[in-house]
Amino acid sequence: MKQFTIPFTYRSPLISAIKNKRKEQDKMKKDFSPTLLDFGSLKIYLARHFGFCYGVENAIEIAFRTVDENPEKRIFLLSEMIHNPQVNADLVARGVKFLQDTKGNELVSLNEINGEDIVIIPAFGTTLDMEERLNQKGIKTEKYNTTCPFVEKVWNRSEQIANKNYTVVVHGKPTHEETRATFSHAAANTASIVINDISEAIILGKYITGETSTSEFYTAFAGRHSANFDAAIDLQKIGVVNQTTMLASDTQAISDYLKQVMISHYQLNESNTEDRFADTKDTLCYATNDNQSAVYGLLEQSADLSIVVGGYNSSNTSHLVELCEEKLPTFFINDASKIISKESILHFDMHEGMEKESNNYLPVNQPVKILLTSGASCPDALVEEVIKKIVGFYGTNLEAVTLDI
């Protein structure tokens, strides 16, 4: 796989050494057991896969290179480069400005930019409408487009099934930048709709079978279907694609459910299922799959708690948190500063949408066992800082570690 040039401050010598060793031992990536960092009174189990993925490193390389090569130009990011506050703050510190927030709300008017400016498209991609608006301003979007190739793969798959007259059902978070971009590309070719979860898939299924009148469809899915969507016709032949960072098991469950609805309603069999339901396989990216599989492997280890590091608005990170929360106390933090002391930690509660402080989060009995992972947009250096912070509570340092890789 291509090696990217990114700021060295995002790297971790310790974690790089661990990852390189594991790659040597497991070239086919079949072993999802964690790595043990043993400090005696503290044992940290590190997930097999975590941290920067191909698309993130590609985006970071392009963004920082663009800044370095264009010192005299105004440089804008269409929205957050990736969902990591440190990386975005570093770019802002270099003079880069955001045109939109993560919800697509305007921060800088497009009227203020011109063809001499540079606008970087983030890793999530953007809508066709926004791309056209930028092009009309003379902005060369293709030169500074950091859209992840695995996101573009979903767009290509959507176009393929659109050409066969399927309606595209996008499983994704409706307000997420990537979902908005994928919906835009799908809707340019065929009828399209966004659903958030299995409960909405069940609702959609009732419109397919006629159990619920299609007249109610437009209220239930307002703002999430393509123009001129005809629920009486466009739900007769569908295919499911997804936001690449969704939980794999959720996408599979949605796809399986809607496939069964089509089979039952239209009395299909194995030979003619594709007459109504497209075989899209799994459109999750490799990193999302690997990171989620690594968490399942991590959770096979008994432990006292888990810590997940990443941006609070990171979709792929939030799903790692969800998996961990099902098994044991889990603390979602965006950097080591949230670990206030051995007694107190400030962490993000996804269910309440806010940070909260928890006390006595580390058990008294030793050895303390902690599961640790991070999202695909989190620099390894942040994970190392978390390890250093916790290790310091036990009167030792990284040099004292015994590794079981």
Question: What is the radius of gyration, based on Cα positions, of the chain?
Answer: 23
Decide: 32 and 297 in contact? Cβ < 8 Å: yes
- DSSP assigned state of 247: -
| Amino acid type, 105 | N
Give the CA dihedral 246, 252, 253, 255, nearest 10 degrees. 110
Decide: 205 and 244 in contact? Cβ < 8 Å: no
End-to-end CA distance of the chain: 22
The residue with tokens 């409706």 is 174
Mapped onto helix, strand or coil, the DSSP state of residue 145 is strand
Decide: 374 and 310 in contact? Cβ < 8 Å: yes
Within 285-326, where are the H helices? Answer: 286-298, 315-325
List Cα–Cα distances, 130 to 127, 134, 141, 177, in angstroms: 5, 6, 10, 12
The span from the CA of 77 to the CA of 120, in Å, is 5
Q: Which two tokens stand for residue 360?
A: 């006595």
The span from the CA of 43 to the CA of 67, in Å, is 41
Mapped onto helix, strand or coil, the DSSP state of residue 298 is helix
Sign of the torsion angle spanned by Cα atoms 309, 297, 124, 118: positive
Catalytic residue positions? 178
The span from the CA of 202 to the CA of 204, in Å, is 5
The span from the CA of 349 to the CA of 245, in Å, is 19
Mapped onto helix, strand or coil, the DSSP state of residue 42 is strand
The span from the CA of 18 to the CA of 39, in Å, is 16
